[in-house]
Structure 1
């Protein structure tokens, strides 16, 4: 069962991202059916997000590289949990997710998705 405090935090995060963010998409490629084959299918999910460049002090050249973006994605209304391998479209550019944090403090309610995107 979801904790009330985390539900309120999720609503606050959604309100702030809606106010200061932008519309974007999270794209996930599903592999073909193992029995029938076919082509991979790319599903696009609309999302509200805030892309921000990493501060220079965090860029180490290995884990965080120059050009990487820290992207805050609202969990409200997003039917999937963004994960490594998905692609986020923000600022008209595609960023592959290379690292992510779902921020599920109670293990149930995702407050906000914070992902590291790389072009």
Structure 2
């Protein structure tokens, strides 16, 4: 724990987190809508694009499960 006059080493913490995710994480993808295929002034419907990644998959806390937006079997990544 940092003492007075000492700062937290965020780069070291980030390196540790990345190493752990690389070792224990799961392969997955984050899907985001990209621009449609039409011209700039009328691009049309968005096109979903998958971005492959490695992620930590975690359970939601019971207090966050509302049964509508977040269901009991949902996971967060």
TM-score interval, normalised by the smaller of the two chains: 0.5 to 0.7
1:30 equivalent among 30, 34, 37: 34
Distance 1:40-1:12 versus aligned 2 partners, 3 A rule: same
Larger radius of gyration: 2
Greater relative contact order (CA < 8 Å, ≥ 6 in sequence): 1
**Which of 14, 20, 31 is the matching residue for 1:10?**
14
Q: What stretches of structure 1 move > 6 A for 4+ residues in a row?
A: none
Structure 1 portions without partners, runs of 5+: 72-119
In structure 2, distance between residues paired with 1:67 and 1:16: 24
Give me the TM-score of the superposition, normalised by structure 1: 0.44
> How many residue pairs are counted as aligned between the two chains?
68
* Cα distance change on mapping 1:47 and 1:4 into 2, 3 Å: farther
Aligned to 1:42, the other structure's residue is in SS state: strand
Q: Which has the higher helix share?
A: 2
1:84-113: CA deviation from partner (whole Å, max 9, x where unpaired): xxxxxxxxxxxxxxxxxxxxxxxxxxxxxx
Q: TM-score, normalised by structure 2?
A: 0.62
After superposition, the CA RMSD in angstroms is 2.7
From the two aligned structures, give the one with the greater strand fraction.
1
State the match for 1:48 in structure 2: 54
Deviations 1:4-47 (A, max 9, x none): 82222221111111111111111111243550434422222111
